[in-house]
Amino acid sequence: MSFEMLGQLFGGIGLFLLGMQLLTSGLKQAAGRSLKRALELATRSKWRGLLSGTLITALVQSSSAVTVATLGFVNAGLLTLGQSIAVIYGCNIGTTMTGWLVALIGFKVKISAFALPMIGIGMGLRTIGGSGRTPHIGSALAGFGLFFIGLDFLRESFVGLSDQVPLESIGNGPLALALFVLAGFVMTFLMQASAAVMAIALSLVHTGSITLSAAAALVIGANVGTTTTALMASIGATPSAKRISAAHVLFNLQTGAVGLLFLILLANWLDQLDPARFDLVILLALYHTLFNLTGVVMIWPFTNALERLLLRRFRSLDEDEARPKYLDKNILTTPSLAVEAMNRELARVSRHCSLMARAAISAEHTDTTRLEAQAQGVYQLVSRISEFNQELARQNLNVEISETLPISLRVARYFSEMARLSAKTPEYHPLFAQVQDTGIRNAIGEFQQAVIRLIDIAEIKARSDTQGYQSHQLMRDIHNQYQTLKENLLEHTVSGRLSAEESMALLDALSHLQRLAEQAEKASSHWSSTTPIQHRSPLTEDIPHG
């Protein structure tokens, strides 16, 4: 291969990738929130997830962009893992649009007749478009033009290649096809763009430099190669990101295996097709689409099983803590054991909430992301306790047990509120740090320590007869401290030593801490007022105190 051909090849790839980047970026920016609204359709069912993934990927020409958006929806709780897996399936189908664009337009029309005007119009819109959607549409148009100009250079670089590099001589046996699959995988990994490999494969077929079966093998390799992006992105990522990446890898490997199997069976027949009668470029684009659709059809019935498998993998500490440890539906028929199990679970929730509250109050630089994750875990545990409570209520219960159930629900509700308030507490640390008055700063510190002492006492652990009384007395002291602090802050505001805004912000922060203490005290007091069943339950067994 001459230096000129190499220059055309690398230049064509560069222009193609640059065009794809401009096209994708421009379309994403021009669409704005429309992409988000389109992806929200996926929240209704897996079928809609599949459709959303297909349409959005076909529109923006970037499966990675859709995958990142899907990950954000999963982390925000707007998409379940099953729905996100369906979106990933759709992304694979949507990526086949690039092959159809190249096959139907790139090799059928004189590129300079429309590509250069598109670049000119696009850059004109980008220059004079202002700050709305117009400049982004201009970028997309310019990218579309560069996309096809790069394709034209690729096509030209492969003309006469078969005379210098006899790729056809490699053959179409299983080993030869496996080598082409590997080549497609490596090229996709190096360029991080399966669309570019698809364009190369189509160009090679168009110029007769490669057989149809070999080009199809390259496309399969490119399809599998897209998983490397997901794998690299999942390193050190959240459990949700790792699960979605794993789903992407498993799906693409299965799809690639199916495509290769069909290809081995059909290779001889495909390579005997007459280019004069059949458009091999169209057939390659069709094959790309068909084996992706076949992969979806084959894996779709197993999506729920795949979801369950992935949910058991890549678990974070917070997710493990959010799983009930003692609740078991099999013991519902023995109410006394069911009540004991629910009490043990509530004790776990109490420990989690106490750890959260202490960390949120005492640390100036608290990991808010970690606190939010812990709060989500508490919400899930409280929800499971509530469901278990309702199922227990349907059993044949005696009066003593029946009276404990609404109290347990109330205690769980207090813990849920403790988690919410703890997650929000770090927002107030900067306010406390800005207080200049030494007396007020010391008083705030003492108030915080009093709240922490209350949380320690109120935590459900080894039950003593005085625990509820102690927490109630300490809550009265905290209330008195709050009133004293409130009076001091108001006096400082009237005298001008504090601005009205600073005073109101500090009062809000102190009221927030007082409310956190109240939730802990209420949980402790209601727990103390329950029936003797709870006092007989070995609550602290297997529950380490944090």
Which tens digit of pLDDT belongs to each residue from 448-458? 999 999 998 88
CA 62 to centroid of chain Cα atoms: 17
In a domain, 159, yes or no: yes
Please tell me whether residues 370 and 434 are part of one structural domain.
Answer: yes
Please tell me whether residues 286 and 424 are part of one structural domain.
Answer: no
- State the pLDDT at residue 157: 66
Q: Which has the minimum average pLDDT: 11-25, 38-52, 152-166, 178-192? A: 152-166
In a domain, 267, yes or no: yes
- State the pLDDT at residue 34: 59
Number of domains in the chain: 2
The model carries a pTM of 0.56
Please tell me whether residues 256 and 280 are part of one structural domain.
Answer: yes
Please tell me whether residues 375 and 300 are part of one structural domain.
Answer: no
- State the pLDDT at residue 62: 66
Q: Which has the minimum average pLDDT: 5-19, 198-212, 321-335? A: 5-19
- From the list 236, 199, 216, the residue with the least C-alpha distance to 290 is 216
Which structural domain, as residue segments, surrounds residue 137? 3-311
Inter-CA distances, 417 with 346, 371, 413, 427, Å: 14, 13, 6, 17
Please tell me whether residues 36 and 172 are part of one structural domain.
Answer: yes
pLDDT above 70: residue 488: yes
pLDDT above 50: residue 539: no
- State the pLDDT at residue 32: 55
| Identity of residue 191 | M
- Tell me the three state secondary structure of residue 544: coil
Please tell me whether residues 432 and 530 are part of one structural domain.
Answer: yes
- State the pLDDT at residue 197: 81
pLDDT above 70: residue 77: no
Confidence of residue 242 (pLDDT cuts 50, 70, 90): confident
Identify the CATH number of the domain in which residue 476 sits.
Answer: 1.20.58
Q: What mean pLDDT is predicted for residues 346-350?
A: 88
Torsion of CA 49, 55, 60, 66, to 10 degrees: 10
Q: What mean pLDDT is predicted for residues 411-435?
A: 88
Whether the CB-CB separation of 347 and 460 falls below 8 Å is answered with yes
